[in-house]
Amino acid sequence: MSLPLEYYLVLSALLFTIGVIGVLIRRNAIIIFMCIELMLNAANLAFVAISRHLGQAEGQLFVIFVMAVAAAEVAIGLAIIVSVFKHRETINVDEINSLKG
């Protein structure tokens, strides 16, 4: 027995909303990246649920590409955060007003 499609879409919308609220409210760069990843995973859940509902594999293939892009985004984003922390000694986005050295 499988759950209806609406349950998965509601969960996906809830996770996406939590991610958006986290990006808008939090000021720590690492927390913001985690919230962006939460939004990407919410979109992935919706893709997989709709793909399974329609009986097609395109949504699941798209999720693999989104996960690869998310992994690259995390690697580059964390490298930027480490570099900024070395120069500014903070990762609070309110205190970082420019990327000039």
Query: Each residue of 19-40: pLDDT tens digit?
Result: 999 999 988 888 998 999 999 9
Classify residue 62: in a domain, yes or no: yes
Overall domain count for the chain: 1
pTM for the whole structure: 0.83
- Distance, CA of 53 to CA of 5 (rounded, Å): 7
What pLDDT is stored for residue 22 in this prediction? 95
Most confident of the following: 18-22, 29-33, 73-77, 90-94:
18-22
> What is the 3 state secondary structure string of 39-95?
HHHHHHHHHHHHHHHHCCCHHHHHHHHHHHHHHHHHHHHHHHHHHHHHHHCCCECCC
Residue 38 belongs to what domain range? Answer: 5-88
What pLDDT is stored for residue 29 in this prediction? 86
Classify residue 17: in a domain, yes or no: yes
Classify residue 96: in a domain, yes or no: no
Classify residue 94: in a domain, yes or no: no
Q: Kindly report the CATH number assigned to the domain that includes residue 55.
A: 1.10.287.3510
Classify residue 39: in a domain, yes or no: yes
> Count of CB atoms within 10 A of residue 65's CB?
9
Classify residue 32: in a domain, yes or no: yes
Average pLDDT, the chain: 89
Most confident of the following: 39-48, 52-61, 86-95:
39-48
What pLDDT is stored for residue 99 in this prediction? 56
Classify residue 73: in a domain, yes or no: yes
